Structure 1
Amino acid sequence: MIVLRSLISVVVLPGVAAVVVPWLIVGSPAWPTGVGWIGLVPFGFGLAIFAWCVIIFASRGRGTLAPWDAPRRFVAVGPYRRVRNPMYLGAGSVLLGEAILFGSLALAAYVAVLALVWHAFVVLWEEPSLERTFGDEYRTYRASVPRWLPRLS
């Protein structure tokens, strides 16, 4: 059941943000040429991080990335040991990779706007919700793990 719930949440949220909206912005893009292929690096890296986070949410947290089906247990393993929001960073990296692949400034602007929206959502809704749900465990985690720039040590 958790696998199905995770698949649905991935299709609904990031599927729209990373497939539908870019398609609406770029249309039917031509295959990348020249340096555009460099976009595969952030795309692949972001996809791997994002998938890792989805698996951890399902296996450790017993929930999904969807706010209406969030993990029931606190998750601070894997990439979450280094940064509090690796799933957003992974999704942003996928979108940045798409912008490079398709040579689209409009798509790059979409990524920038989406990053601002994600930041506001995290600060105004997600972090207070995590504090209410997980209390001191989350407060301790928040004090030692950075929000956006991964801790390297």
Structure 2
Amino acid sequence: MRNRVVAAAGSAGFFVLAPGIVAGLIPWLLTRWDAEPIWLPLRVIGWVVFVAAVAVLISAFARFVAEGFGTPAPVAPPQKLVVGGFYRYVRNPMYLAVLSTIIGQALILGQWILPVYAVLVSAAFYAMVRWHEEPALRRSFGSQYEVYKAAVPGWLPRIRPWQPPKSA
């Protein structure tokens, strides 16, 4: 129980710092959330994308506590490989959710700078995953991670959820 409380507190703190800065503070600094005229259906789509992305992000963070007994933060990684929830469809739902919140804000606000920012953020996310996270997961979880990586795509979600192999 204590591990989950500590993991929940760590995840909440990391949530405020990482996605809060990347998908909240920086877009605000770039736009001051000043809306430009934009076609109403695009603004509505933006809100749908934004709300769905925030829900996925919260779910993915909670999954680290409930399933992994840790946090998404590199300083307190999960004790178990997290493969449930949205992780059954794609290996990087958090990064995709953060990018989607930025795109949602771009549609809501009609601000051209936000898609440009999203491209830069996606390049940074890809580099972080490729050169830090994947090697760290391979070291921590070995063949379990390799089986997961082979079955679940990193960036384009599967249509059907992956079913982990049954443990012996």
Same fold per superposition (TM over 0.5): yes
In percent, how many aligned pairs have the same letter? Answer: 37
Displacement of 1:141: 0.6
CA RMSD of aligned residues (A): 1.5
The CA deviation string for residues 49-97 of structure 1, in whole angstroms up to 9 with x for no partner, is 1111011001110111211122111111111111111111111111110
Q: Conserved in 1, the CA contact under 8 Å of 2:53 and 2:100?
A: yes
The answer to whether the aligner puts 1:151 opposite 2:158 as a matched pair is yes
Correspondent of 1:29 among 22, 27, 34: 34
Cα distance in 2, alignment partners of residues 20 and 42 from structure 1: 18
Q: Is there any run of 5+ residues in structure 1 with no aligned partner, and where?
A: none
Partner letter of residue 106 of structure 1?
I
Correspondent of 1:10 among 8, 15, 25: 15
- Aligned counterpart, 1:110: 117
- Aligned counterpart, 1:67: 74
Aligned length: 153
Q: Which has the larger radius of gyration?
A: 2
Cα distance in 2, alignment partners of residues 92 and 21 from structure 1: 13
Give the TM-score normalised by structure 2. 0.86
Cα distance in 1, alignment partners of residues 75 and 17 from structure 2: 12
Correspondent of 2:106 among 94, 99, 117: 99
3-state SS of the aligned residue for 2:46? Answer: helix
Correspondent of 2:127 among 120, 123, 139: 120
- Aligned counterpart, 2:3: none
Give the TM-score normalised by structure 1. 0.94
Structure 1 residues 73, 32: closer, same or farther in 2, change over 3 A? Answer: farther
Partner letter of residue 110 of structure 1?
Y
